[in-house]
Amino acid sequence: MVALTSLSAAPPRPSPSPATPRRWTPPPHIRTSSRRARTARSATVAAATPGTDDYHSTIRALNSRGRHVPRKSLGQNYMLNAKVNEELVAAAGVEEGDVVLEIGPGTGSLTAALLEAGATVFAVEKDKHMAALVKDRFGSTDRLKVIQEDITKFHIRSHFLPFMKEKCHTTRKHAKVVSNLPFNVSTEVVKLLLPMGDVFSVVVLMLQDETAVRLADASIQTPEYRPINVFVNFYSEPEYKFRVNKDNFFPTPKVDGAVISFKLKNAEEYPPVGSPKSFFSMVNSAFNGKRKMLRKSLQHICSSSEIEAVLHNIGLPVTITCTFGLQLTCSNTGLNDT
Ligand SMILES: C[S@@+](CC[C@H](N)C(=O)[O-])C[C@H]1O[C@@H](n2cnc3c(N)ncnc32)[C@H](O)[C@@H]1O
């Protein structure tokens, strides 16, 4: 389902300079007289309240620890619009007492909005400079734990569950995920989090707009429909929330972002398959054999005659090719009728 809202208004900021220096230098009108004065001002920013993460304070925060240029390889495009962060928090329905996993806190602008909403935050940040910066910024609160790790290599269950047990003082059984994700790891993170419906009730992510549209809205009868859509719909109910204009990020990325929410299903709500692993292996085989007859692309899983019988039972021609997702039943894959 697509909500037609779009947060396209970007906050005011100076136009970017054409050349990219190794270290960000604030434009002349925000420079102070000495390095020490600049550092002092950064300390004030470090303790800032939500709403102050605009262009100038982001530059000051990045420079405060001798930080260099934001790293493209880490998808470091920082959010400059506090309103967008508030909308992300609202999309996840974050409230007092919630425990939230945040991936990539960066300068801590979204972290501030989460803390402001009353959540306890477990933040995983790959960049050691940013992890240190966000720790400094919220040093005095016990409602934040920052781990310097790569989320794609992090064992969420063994680290997050004990934290949740310790911090969750309400009867709530599930935590939430809210993140302005680095675009380059978004598919990997989606694959990691969606099967965790026993831990998280909702996953709200800022993704590349095109990716969010594809994940939330691909129809089974379009060429855009992929195994990842089968995966997303198997484990969750996705909803496209709103588009975020690229001018809201610093540095400005090439593409717009969008917020998508995934309401995670419990295991009892998954489609009835014998084993998700063999189900997804079949889905991948079917899609890999695009334009090949299904009875051929799936013949390593079951015999051609079994596949033909299934196709016949569901009223499809036995010569059908995989042009869009199909529901099959096959005795030796552990798949049930769906
Ligand atoms: C798009 S920025 C978002 C920063 C901040 N949340 C904001 O809204 O401004 C992505 C952040 O994720 C961090 N990051 C990149 N790859 C990561 C990974 N594999 N694991 C954890 N953090 C990562 C980057 O260093 C960066 O701080």
pLDDT-based confidence at residue 311 (cuts at 50, 70, 90):
confident
166 is in an annotated binding site: no
Question: How many Å apart are CA 323 and CA 220, to the nearest integer?
Answer: 10
Ligand 1 centre distance from Cα of residue 88 (Å):
15
77 is in an annotated binding site: yes
Looking at the structure, tell me whether residues 252 and 302 fall in a common domain. no
**24: which 2 tokens?**
């960000």
Q: Tell me, what's the pLDDT at 45? A: 27
Q: Which among 67, 87, 178 has a CA at the least distance from the CA of 130?
A: 67
Ligand 1 centre distance from Cα of residue 335 (Å):
38
Contacts with 15 (C-beta within 8 Å, 6 or more apart), sequence order: none
End-of-domain residue from the set 216, 236, 269: 269
Q: Which long-range contacts (CB under 8 A, 24 or more apart) does 255-258 make?
A: 255/183, 255/208, 255/209, 255/210, 256/208, 256/209, 257/180, 257/183, 257/206, 257/207, 257/208, 257/209, 257/212, 258/206, 258/207, 258/208, 258/209, 258/211, 258/212, 258/213
180 is in an annotated binding site: yes
Q: Tell me, what's the pLDDT at 37? A: 32
Q: Tell me, what's the pLDDT at 264? A: 98
150 is in an annotated binding site: yes
Query: Per-residue pLDDT averaged across 271-300, rounded?
Result: 85
In a domain, 5, yes or no: no
pLDDT-based confidence at residue 67 (cuts at 50, 70, 90):
low
pLDDT-based confidence at residue 284 (cuts at 50, 70, 90):
confident
Q: Tell me, what's the pLDDT at 154? A: 96
In a domain, 151, yes or no: yes
Q: 100 with 92: CB under 8 angstroms?
A: yes
Average pLDDT value for the chain: 81
Q: Tell me, what's the pLDDT at 88? A: 97
Looking at the structure, tell me whether residues 210 and 321 fall in a common domain. no
**Highest averaged pLDDT of the listed ranges 187-201, 279-293, 304-318:** 187-201
Looking at the structure, tell me whether residues 228 and 257 fall in a common domain. yes
Looking at the structure, tell me whether residues 245 and 158 fall in a common domain. yes
Q: Domain limits at 326?
A: 276-332
Decide if pLDDT at 2 tops 70: no
Q: Whose C-alpha lies nearest to ligand 1, atom 19?
A: 150
If one residue of 79, 111, 127 were mutated to test the ligand 1 pocket, choosing by the most ligand atoms within 8 A of its CB, it would be 127
Per-residue pLDDT of 198-235, as tens digits, reads 999 999 999 999 999 999 987 777 777 889 999 999 99
Decide if pLDDT at 105 tops 60: yes
pLDDT-based confidence at residue 53 (cuts at 50, 70, 90):
confident
If one residue of 74, 248, 250 were mutated to test the ligand 1 pocket, choosing by the most ligand atoms within 8 A of its CB, it would be 74
Ligand 1 centre distance from Cα of residue 278 (Å):
33
Looking at the structure, tell me whether residues 281 and 256 fall in a common domain. no
Ligand 1 centre distance from Cα of residue 112 (Å):
15
Looking at the structure, tell me whether residues 122 and 246 fall in a common domain. yes
Q: Does ipTM top 0.85?
A: yes
Query: Per-residue pLDDT averaged across 164-179, rounded?
Result: 86
Q: Residue 249 CA: which ligand 1 atom is closest? A: 9
In a domain, 22, yes or no: no
If one residue of 71, 76, 184 were mutated to test the ligand 1 pocket, choosing by the most ligand atoms within 8 A of its CB, it would be 76
CATH assignment of the domain containing 44: 3.40.50.150
Q: Residue 105 CA: which ligand 1 atom is closest? A: 6
Question: How many domains does one find in the chain?
Answer: 2
In a domain, 2, yes or no: no
pTM of the model: 0.81
If one residue of 7, 103, 190 were mutated to test the ligand 1 pocket, choosing by the most ligand atoms within 8 A of its CB, it would be 103
End-of-domain residue from the set 269, 284, 313: 269
Q: Residue 183 CA: which ligand 1 atom is closest? A: 1
Looking at the structure, tell me whether residues 117 and 262 fall in a common domain. yes
In a domain, 299, yes or no: yes
The residues lining ligand 1, judged by C-beta closer than 6 Å to any ligand atom, are: 74-79, 103-107, 109-110, 124-127, 130, 150-152, 180, 182, 185
In a domain, 13, yes or no: no
Q: CA–CA distance from 131 to each of 104, 144, 148, 153, 208 (Å)?
A: 9, 12, 6, 16, 23
98 is in an annotated binding site: no
Q: Tell me, what's the pLDDT at 6? A: 56
Q: Residue 74 CA: which ligand 1 atom is closest? A: 15
Decide if pLDDT at 239 tops 60: yes
In a domain, 293, yes or no: yes
Decide if pLDDT at 296 tops 70: yes
Residue 13, helix vs strand vs coil = coil
Decide if pLDDT at 85 tops 70: yes
In a domain, 6, yes or no: no
Decide if pLDDT at 237 tops 90: yes
